[in-house]
């Protein structure tokens, strides 16, 4: 096939734990990823930032804004009174009814952005959110306002976690999750574009995080019905005690990493007439 459609492939959760970071770095070094999203709330972040620098020309490095895993970088007496973030299923209804402590959240966003800059020495190439928290009402407005105040409009891109229903259904897998997140992200794209930010156009990568799942089949479906600037998320990594303590998604990360490093991954790209590219260069 002469024309090959460009896709960005992003590994979420960089710096979540040393083992997750190690796995993502392996995939980056092998040329199997074009972006990774960093959790600057985690102790592994400074080491992960240092390790990424040698790979920087190959991939975008973003902020994975975190409000749901472990705890914040500073005090959030209303949002995280015990020092641990709340669960996503309590944040969503509060966001939609306008009940979030937005000043606390914006202060935490500033801390996470500052931690990115301090360890990496440059602002993020893009911003997204752990469990897509960045697209929620209120949080989205404050994210866009904070990034704009830092002069990053037009310089960093934002993840649109939504896609069009016809594309979601054309992929034929995990459409329930994809539609749910698309609903949560309603209005985000218009706000971001109005503020001068670029975004991906097309989003896939939803999975059941099953270690024994059909990762090759899933990836083939992610490549279907692309938009103009499609982005695929993934969650590769190795497992360590830190990951097991913090997150229920463990063994599926090993399986995803094995697929990304396999010849089957390259065959999937060839069969779809696809190639990997940095979204910042599309």
Taking the CA of residue 205 as centre, how many other CA atoms within 13 Å lie in the half-sphere pointing to its CB? 22
For residue 270, what pLDDT is reported? Answer: 93
Q: Exposed (0-12), middle (13-18) or buried (19+): which is 148, by Cβ within 10 Å?
A: middle
Phi, psi of 105 (to 5 degrees): -70, -40
**What is the model's pLDDT at position 58?**
86
3-state secondary structure of 201: strand
In the 8-state DSSP scheme, what is residue 174?
A: S
Which residues make beta-bridge pairs with 65? 129
DSSP state of 155: T
Per-residue pLDDT of the chain (282 residues; tens, 9 = 90+): 336 799 999 999 999 999 999 999 999 999 999 999 999 999 999 999 999 998 888 899 999 999 999 999 999 999 999 999 999 999 999 999 999 999 999 999 999 999 999 999 999 999 999 999 999 999 999 999 999 999 999 999 999 999 999 999 999 888 989 999 999 999 999 999 999 999 999 999 999 888 888 888 999 999 999 999 999 999 999 999 999 999 999 999 999 999 999 999 999 999 999 999 999 888
**DSSP 3-state percent helix, strand, coil across the chain (nearest 5):** 45, 15, 40
CA distances for 271 relative to 33, 75, 91, 243, 279, angstroms: 18, 50, 40, 34, 21
| Beta strands, E only, the chain | 5-14, 35-38, 60-65, 126-129, 157-158, 203-204, 231-234, 274-276
What is the dihedral sign for C-alpha 167, 169, 172, 173?
positive
pLDDT of 56:
81
Q: Collapsing DSSP states into helix, strand and coil, what is residue 36?
A: strand
* pLDDT (0 to 100) of residue 266: 94
Distance of CA 190 to the CA centre of its chain: 19
CB 128 within 8 A of CB 159: yes
Going along the chain from its start, the domains and CATH numbers come out as: 5-281 (3.20.20.370)
pLDDT confidence of residue 3: 60
> Alpha-carbon distance 145 to 247, whole Å?
30
| CB contact at 8 A, 157 and 197 | yes
């Amino acid at each position: 096939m002469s024309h090959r459609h460009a896709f960005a492939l992003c590994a979420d959760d960089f710096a979540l734990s040393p083992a997750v970071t190690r796995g993502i770095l392996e995939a980056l070094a092998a040329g199997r990823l074009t972006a990774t999203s960093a959790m600057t709330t985690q102790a592994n972040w400074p080491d992960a930032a240092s390790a990424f620098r040698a790979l920087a020309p190959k991939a975008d490095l973003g902020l994975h804004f975190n409000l749901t895993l472990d705890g914040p970088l500073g005090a959030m007496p209303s949002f995280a009174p015990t020092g641990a973030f709340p669960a996503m299923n309590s944040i969503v209804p509060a966001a939609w009814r306008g009940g979030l402590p937005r000043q606390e959240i914006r202060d935490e966003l500033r801390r996470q952005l500052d931690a990115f800059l301090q360890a990496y020495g440059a602002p993020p190439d893009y911003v997204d959110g752990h469990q897509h928290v960045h697209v929620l009402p209120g949080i989205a407005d404050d994210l866009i306002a904070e990034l704009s105040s830092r002069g990053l409009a037009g310089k960093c891109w934002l993840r649109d976690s939504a896609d069009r229903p016809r594309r979601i259904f054309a992929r034929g897998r995990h459409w329930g999750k994809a539609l749910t997140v698309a609903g949560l992200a309603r209005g985000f794209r218009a706000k971001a574009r109005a503020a001068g930010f670029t975004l991906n156009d097309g989003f896939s990568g939803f999975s059941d995080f099953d270690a024994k799942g059909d990762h090759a089949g899933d990836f083939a479906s992610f490549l279907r019905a692309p938009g103009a600037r499609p982005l695929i998320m993934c969650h590769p990594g190795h497992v360590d005690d830190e990951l097991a303590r913090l997150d229920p998604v463990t063994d599926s990360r090993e399986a995803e990493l094995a697929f990304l490093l396999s010849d089957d991954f390259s065959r999937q790209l060839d069969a779809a007439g696809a190639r990997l590219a940095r979204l910042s260069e599309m």
